């Protein structure tokens, strides 16, 4: 069976038809596409889209169908071997690589992120399904997310909190203003540090350019929002042990992270090359193992609550993509059309994966010794 015939068959299993009439059907502009995809997998799929070899009117709908029904594995199974081998042999998230990742992803300047993320400057999932506040816009969803985290931690005036991977500082600013806490935020991006210091100016908040492995001190509560995806499997245990050493005996730690439906050792190749070099999406098994008791007398962290609101990331990503498109007339002065297609692909493919429930958004609350009487889940 030729490459095109095989592609037609596999796509049909997902309810997709090449050059079909539905908005999610792919439109092929170059017949070399089929051989390219079967030899190069997900990397080839993304790069061929960037090159204009194919299109679809509903990219997120195309991806959600492709991944929800399992056709993606058969169609795009190539290209992972090199990444898996590197992940097994190397610590892809050691100190030097982590620093380079920060420079590559976040130190290119804040202009793009300000236009895409909006005033919240939150590069993580918003909370659209909040039962305690009306949420209709991206900014409202991000504020609801900030407040959800504060309520889950039970923040009170005078608490001292640590934000591992504080981004542009907006969560710490929110928590300090609304809940009266002081805090420390750490980031490995110079651009983020400078921005966060401005955002938190006048508040009892310190922003440090620092790797989490170097942080010292004691904190009433700790939070990490969208940073764990950069930690890597070889460092998960180190991360959890570090958190425990910094957390007060009766404090809580909230981990906000994208998660994968299955255990993997490497990030999907296209995302690894173009968006998050050396990133990794943890599975439930990897996270629980990292925080688990390993031998008598040594308990790392106790899981108190696990909240999955992955579908909200679909809405968040679509909102970012709409912002990106609105901003494109200005952005195109400094970026070419291939970059335009790359960012649309990144945002809409990600939305489709969350819609298919192939990837998830988890908020996990941990304590050091267990909350006396039990932890009351907050939504």
Domains in the chain, CATH or no CATH each? 3-79 (no CATH), 95-367 (3.40.50.150)
Does the pTM exceed 0.85?
Answer: yes
Q: What is the 3-state secondary structure (H, E, C) of the chain?
A: CCHHHHHHHHHHHCCCCCCCCCCCCCEECCCCHHHHHHHHHHHHHHHHHHCCCEECCCHHHHHHHHHHCCHHHHHCCCCCHHHHHHHHHCCCCCHHHHHHHHHHHHCCCCHHHHHHHCCCCCCCCCCCCCCCCCCCCHHHHHHHHHHHHHHHHCCCCCCEEEEECCCCCHHHHHHHHHHCCEEEEEECCHHHHHHHHHHCCCCCEEEEECCHHHCCCCEEEEEEECCHHHCCHHHHHHHHHHHHHHEEEEEEEEEEEEEECCCCCCCCHHHHHHCCCCCCCCCHHHHHHHCCCCECCECCCEEEEEEECCHHHHHHHHHHHHHHHHHHHHHCCCCCHHHHHHHHHHHHHHHHHHHCCCEEEEEEEEECCCCCCCCCCCC
pLDDT per residue, tens digit, the chain (379 aa), is 799 999 999 999 999 999 999 999 999 999 999 999 999 999 999 999 999 999 999 999 999 999 987 777 777 765 444 444 444 444 554 555 444 444 444 545 688 999 999 999 999 999 999 999 999 999 999 999 999 999 999 999 999 999 999 999 999 999 999 999 999 999 999 999 999 999 999 999 999 999 999 999 999 999 999 999 999 999 999 999 999 999 999 999 999 999 999 998 777 899 989 998 889 999 999 999 999 977 655 668 999 999 999 999 999 999 999 999 999 999 999 999 999 999 999 999 999 999 999 999 999 999 999 999 999 999 9
């Amino acid at each position: 069976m030729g490459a095109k015939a095989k592609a037609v068959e596999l796509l049909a299993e997902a309810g997709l038809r090449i050059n079909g009439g539905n908005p999610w059907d792919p439109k092929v502009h170059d017949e070399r596409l089929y051989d390219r995809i079967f030899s190069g997998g997900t990397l080839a799929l993304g790069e061929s889209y960037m090159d204009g070899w194919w299109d679809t009117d509903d990219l997120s709908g195309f991806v959600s169908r492709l991944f929800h029904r399992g056709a993606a594995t058969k169609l795009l199974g190539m290209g992972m071997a090199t990444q898996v081998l590197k992940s097994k042999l190397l610590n892809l998230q050691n100190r030097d690589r982590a620093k380079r990742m920060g420079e590559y992803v976040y130190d290119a300047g804040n202009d793009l992120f300000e236009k895409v993320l909006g005033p919240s400057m939150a590069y993580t999932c918003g909370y659209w399904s909040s039962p305690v506040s009306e949420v209709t816009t991206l900014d409202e969803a991000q504020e609801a997310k900030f407040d959800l985290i504060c309520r889950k931690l039970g923040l009170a005036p005078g608490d001292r909190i640590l934000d591992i991977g504080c981004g542009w500082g907006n969560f710490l600013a929110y928590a300090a203003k609304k809940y009266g806490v002081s805090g420390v935020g750490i980031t490995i991006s110079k651009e983020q540090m400078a921005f966060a210091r401005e955002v938190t100016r006048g508040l009892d908040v310190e922003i440090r350019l620092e790797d989490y492995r170097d942080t010292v001190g004691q904190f009433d509560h700790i939070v990490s929002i969208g940073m764990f995806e950069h930690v890597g499997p070889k460092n998960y245990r180190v991360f959890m042990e570090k958190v425990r050493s910094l957390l007060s005996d009766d404090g809580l730690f909230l981990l906000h992270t994208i998660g994968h439906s299955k255990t993997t050792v490497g990030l999907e190749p296209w995302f690894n090359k173009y968006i998050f070099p050396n990133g990794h999406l943890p599975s439930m098994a990897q996270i629980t193992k990292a925080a688990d008791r390993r031998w008598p007398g040594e308990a790392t962290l106790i899981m108190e609550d696990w909240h999955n609101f992955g579908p909200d990331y679909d809405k968040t990503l679509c909102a970012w993509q709409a912002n990106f498109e609105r901003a494109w007339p200005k952005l195109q002065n400094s970026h070419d059309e291939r970059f335009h297609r790359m960012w649309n692909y990144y945002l809409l493919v990600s939305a489709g994966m969350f819609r298919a429930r192939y990837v998830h958004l988890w908020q996990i609350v941990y304590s050091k010794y267990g909350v006396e009487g039990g932890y009351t889940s907050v939504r």
